[in-house]
Structure 1
Amino acid sequence: MLKRSLAVAAVGTVLSLASISPSFAAPADFVGTWQNTNSNTRGITKLVVTKVSGNKLNIRVFGSCSPRDCDWGTASLTTYGSSVQDANHRSATTNYNKSFANTLLTINLGATNRLNLQSFTQFKDNSNRQNYTSTEAFRKL
């Protein structure tokens, strides 16, 4: 009787898990080249996310400059789940500490091949420029 109850419980568990189809985003889902959906942006134009090893990622950011985009360089990208058990990482952060400003980037995966980026720039060069935030949408190439 106990064996039968365990078998029924196991089958029930398998069937219930089989019917669940969540969208799952591992850190690797961030990997690729991402283009700003606004071709006229004066902010960040492109992101290139690469895998370093395991779940470690790097990001290379390009900003709007003329005649060519400015390369901000490469930084470590840290991804996050919604809890300590959650491997479904849909958010990430990185920080660019330049001589004149510090920019924190937060990234959230959206629909398939889409992400949203929010930047927070704090000036530290005594230029009297106002700190600002910006939100931009990107599509995966």
Structure 2
Amino acid sequence: MERSILEEIHGIVQLLEQSVGKTMNPNKLFHNAASNIICQVLFARRFDYEDEFMKFFVGLFQETSKIINGRWGMIYDAVPIVRNLPLPFQKAFKMFKDAHQIRLKVLAENKKTRVPGKPRHFIDSYLDELDKV
């Protein structure tokens, strides 16, 4: 885990050095870095920050956090009658549904290449535990 974190920090430093004199969003940079560390644990794979998978999931977490933790989340909780109206929290539900489909696809790909009892990453370990049940 420490090695993964150090590698990601090295990548951040390189990007910061390349950005000298330019504008950038450090918030997005650190979201990408944290997400990449999680991906390394889950999938034993590091994604480029411009990878569609990475952009989708970082965007998902940013967008849904704003919706869920903002006024629309409070309205959803406080006024149940509005739950079926086409309000912004419906966008969060759609994004979660899309994310679920992507996770199912990743899980199916891992099932094809995994060797039971020899986990490569967290997902393989999870599948091994499911086999025990």
> Normalising by the residue count of structure 2, what TM-score does the alignment of the two structures yield?
0.25
Q: Which protein has the bigger strand share?
A: 1
Q: Which protein has the bigger helix share?
A: 2
Higher radius of gyration, 1 or 2:
1
> Normalising by the residue count of structure 1, what TM-score does the alignment of the two structures yield?
0.24
